[in-house]
Homo-oligomer: A and B are copies of this chain.
Amino acid sequence: MSSLDKRTAERGEPSGGSAGPVPKSVAARTLRILDTFDSGHCELSLSDISRRSGLPVATCHRLVGELVEWGGLLRTGGRYRIGHKLWSLGLLSESHHGLAELAAPYMHDVLFLTKHVVNLFVLDGAHALLLERISGTQPGRALHRVGDRLALHASAGGKAFLAYGPPELAKAALANPQRLTPNTVIDPTRLRRELEQVRRKGYAVTLEEAVRGAHGIAVPVTAADGSVLAALGVVTVGTRPRPAAIVPVLQIAARSIAREAGRLAVRGGPAA
C-alpha cells in the first residue's frame, strides 16, 4: 500500500494541462490526451503529453499511436499536432455553426461599412466562444481565432453576455476576475457599474483590457423572447472605436441575425 501512496504522490498534479484526477477508462484517457492540446499548445511532444495529461509515458505512447493511425493526430518529427480528421469532424458540429453560417452575410456587411474585424461570440460556460470572425482586408496577424475562448469580464462580447445574461453568470464572473493587461478592470464594483452602463447604452466596450492596443465594442444579439443568442462586435487596433459610427451598424446586423435565427426556429443557442 505504501508503494501505491508513493505512486500517487509522485505523480503530482499535471504541470498545466487538463485538471482533475486521472480517469480509469481507456476512452476517457484517450480523450484526455486530446485535451492536452489547446490554443497555446498546438504542438506537443510525447512527454509533454504525458506530463500534461498525468498519464504514464508508456500509456500515452500507445494511445497517441492509435490516434495518429486514426488521423486525429499527426506526427511531424518528434512532435504531435491535431490532424485533419479532427478538423473536418469538428466542422460537423452543427450546434452553433448554423448560427455562424447564417450570421456571416450580415457580418460581411458590418465589415464593409466599418472596415473593422467583426466577431461573433456565443456563451460557452464561463467564456465567450469566438464562433465566427470576418477578418479585415489588411492581412495582419489576428488577435483571436475562431474557436478561442475569451474571458467574459475582459472582452466586449463577454460584457454583453454579463450585462444581458442571467445574474448568476455575472456573479460567477465577478468572483475572481483575472488581470490580463494593466487596463483590465478587476474591481467587482466597478465592473458592476460598467455592466449597468452597458444595459443603459445598449453596447459594451473594452479599452485594451484583454490585449494591449486592441479595443472592442459589441452589442447583444437578442432573440424575440429576450434571451441573448450571441454577441456581435468589432475590434479596432490602435485607435479607439467611435460608438456613434459603429453601434448602429452592429445593432442593425444583430437584429437581422436574430430575426434570421428565429425564422430558422429550430432550437435555441448554446447549451449551458
Contacts of A136 in B (CB 8 A): 105
Report the interface size class on chain A: 35 or more
Is there an interface contact between B67 and A31, defined as CB atoms closer than 8 Å? yes
Q: How far is the CA of A181 from the CA of B69 in the complex (A)?
A: 34
Q: A66-B28, A91-B145, A137-B109 are in contact. Are A42 and B270 (CB under 8 A)?
A: yes
- Chain copies in complex: 2
Nearest chain B CB to A4 CB, angstrom units: 24
A84-B95, A108-B137 are known contacts; what are 17 more A-B pairs with Cβ within 8 Å?
A26-B26, A27-B66, A31-B66, A31-B72, A76-B267, A82-B90, A82-B95, A83-B95, A86-B93, A88-B90, A88-B129, A88-B149, A90-B147, A92-B147, A104-B135, A105-B139, A108-B111
Say yes or no for A102: interface residue by CB 8 A criterion: yes
**B82 engages A93 (CB within 8 Å):** yes
Within 15-29 of A, Cβ neighbours of B (below 8 Å) are at 25-28
**A124 CB contacts on chain B under 8 angstroms:** 84
| A101 CB within 8 Å of chain B | yes
Selected from B105, B137, B138, B147, the residue in CB contact (under 8 A) with A87 is B147
Binds B, one of A33-41, A184-192, A193-201: A33-41
Q: Are A31 and B70 in contact (CB under 8 A)?
A: yes
Instruction: Provide the residues of chain B in CB contact with A10, threshold 8 Å.
Output: none
Interface residues of A in 98-146 (CB under 8 A from B): 101-102, 104-105, 108-109, 111, 124, 129, 135-139, 142, 145-146
- Asked if residues A84 and B88 are in contact (CB atoms below 8 Å), the reply is no
Tell me the complex Cα distance, A271–B84, Å.
Answer: 10
- Of the candidates B39, B89, B138, B149, which one forms a contact with A92 in the assembled complex, judged by CB atoms under 8 Å apart? B39
Residues in chain B near residue A82, CB distance under 8 A: 89-90, 92-95
